[in-house]
Amino acid sequence: MKNIIETAVEAGNFKTLIRVLQEAGLVDIFTREGPYTIFAPTDEAFLKLPKGTIENLLHDKEKLTDLLTNHVLSDILMVKKAVSLHNVKTINGKKIIIKTGKNVKIDNAKIITTDIKCTNGIIHVIDEVLITY
């Protein structure tokens, strides 16, 4: 079993996520510490952002870190348990809403792959970037 970063790199559809984690200086944390739950936006999810969003965030490390840590919980949350909750607090202190029904959603992002186990946590693949204001 690999850690969160190794798993994301091996999957091949998280290049943008890995790049922005590197820019924010967060890669080392997700290679060794844990446990974490990461709601990982795919490369396609990042493409849905308005043009220039990522480039602007790359010039503002504080906002970039805030955005990225809004996708992370400081414990393991399997989808089976998530569906019984209404919201969860991310490591940056913000709450994200869990919606259930035909699909499980985190805010407006649909979880498209669940419960990918890693040595230091779990990954849920989502189809949108979680942006809170």
Residue 132 lies in a domain: no
Beta partners for 121? Answer: 36, 118
- Report if residue 15 sits inside a domain: yes
pLDDT, position 131: 85
* Cα distance between residue 67 and residue 53, in whole Å: 11
| pLDDT of res. 55 | 92
Residue with structure tokens 């220039």? 52
Residues 36 and 34: their CA atoms lie apart, in Å, by: 5
Judge whether 133 lies within some domain: no
The total domain count for the chain is: 1
Rounded distance between C-alpha atoms, residue 68 and residue 53, angstroms: 13
pTM: 0.94
pLDDT in tens, 88-100: 999 999 999 999 9
User: Which residues of the chain fall short of a pLDDT of 70?
Assistant: 132-133
Helix (H, G, I), strand (E, B) or coil at 8: helix
In this prediction, residue 119 carries a pLDDT of 96
Which tokens is 63 given? Answer: 């906002």
Which pLDDT belongs to residue 102?
87
Tell me the CATH number at 21.
2.30.180.10
- Give the type of residue at 56: N
Q: Are 128 and 53 in contact (CB under 8 A)?
A: no
Q: Which residue has the tokens 């805010």?
A: 107
Domain that holds residue 10: 4-126
The pLDDT of residue 33 is 82
